[in-house]
Chain A
Amino acid sequence: QSVLTQPPSASGTPGQRVAISCSGSSSNVGNNAVNWYQQFPGTAPKLLIYNNDQRPAGVSDRFSGSKSGTSASLAISGLQSEDEADYYCAAWDDSMRGMFGGGTKLTVL
């Protein structure tokens, strides 16, 4: 059971906006940066959003992140078929351990 809670699945049609939530506590999301990772089957995860709302170079501006209190959210606008992947939130916990969300499988209908 993951400490960070994500919905197991999300879906949308091409062009739509989809949001994926990540809920934690005051010792992780509430007090540390939230990062988001994208993973395609059979490949290593890729950093998508860091420090709550920052995009690494090369990541499309269709991806955005936000955080409020002990919850964070990843939004994908202008949904495309190539966005179909698994998405994970992650945050350090003040108990000196790393935390990942359980992951959200995004389906583009």
Chain B
Amino acid sequence: QGQLVESGGDVVQPGGSLRLSCVSSGFNFRGFAMHWVRQAPGKGLEWVADIWFDGSKKYYADSVKGRFTISRDNLKDTLYLQMNRLRAEDTGFYYCAREARWQQLEFDFWGQGTLVAVSS
């Protein structure tokens, strides 16, 4: 069974930066596309970004394009999300998720989430 563990969430001021990490274990990390999904307090799920298994392609939601960067280190079995120019509306839980089938938004493993709070 696989496991994903996020970290890096914190309280940050508007305009600030944060880097989230997601460490995987128990499965062949380099064989799967990975995604970030977020959830504002009391709100629904929002897709944020994804990265192909080899890091060659990356896609972003319009709400984060140009501010967030998704990356991965397949030697360390770790997924990252670099978040710059943070806004209040970026506040929420951030989940990393493994995509079981390519480009189908079929997430069979999720992390427990890490909380990002953007506030002055």
- Whether A97 pairs with B59 at a CB distance below 8 angstroms is yes
Q: Is A51 an interface residue (CB 8 A)?
A: yes
Number of B residues, CB within 8 Å of A: 24
Write the chain B residue with the least CB distance to A44. B110
- Whether B44 pairs with A92 at a CB distance below 8 angstroms is no
- Whether B106 pairs with A45 at a CB distance below 8 angstroms is no
Tell which of A2, A44, A50 touches B44, judged by Cβ atoms closer than 8 Å.
Answer: A2
Return chain A residues, CB-CB under 8 Å to B56: none
- Whether B44 pairs with A47 at a CB distance below 8 angstroms is no
- Whether B104 pairs with A32 at a CB distance below 8 angstroms is yes
Question: Nearest Cβ in chain A — how far from B58, in angstroms?
Answer: 10
Chain B facing A: main interface SS: strand
Question: Nearest Cβ in chain A — how far from B44, in angstroms?
Answer: 4
- Whether A98 pairs with B50 at a CB distance below 8 angstroms is yes
Within 8 A of B (CB), among A30-54: 32-33, 35, 37, 39, 44-47, 50-51
A1-20 CB contact bits vs B (8 Å, 1 = yes)? 01000000000000000000
Residues of B whose CB lies within 8 Å of any CB of A are 35, 37, 44-47, 50, 59-62, 95, 100-101, 103-108, 110-113
Residues of A whose CB lies within 8 Å of any CB of B are 2, 32-33, 35, 37, 39, 44-47, 50-51, 56, 86, 88, 90-92, 96-103
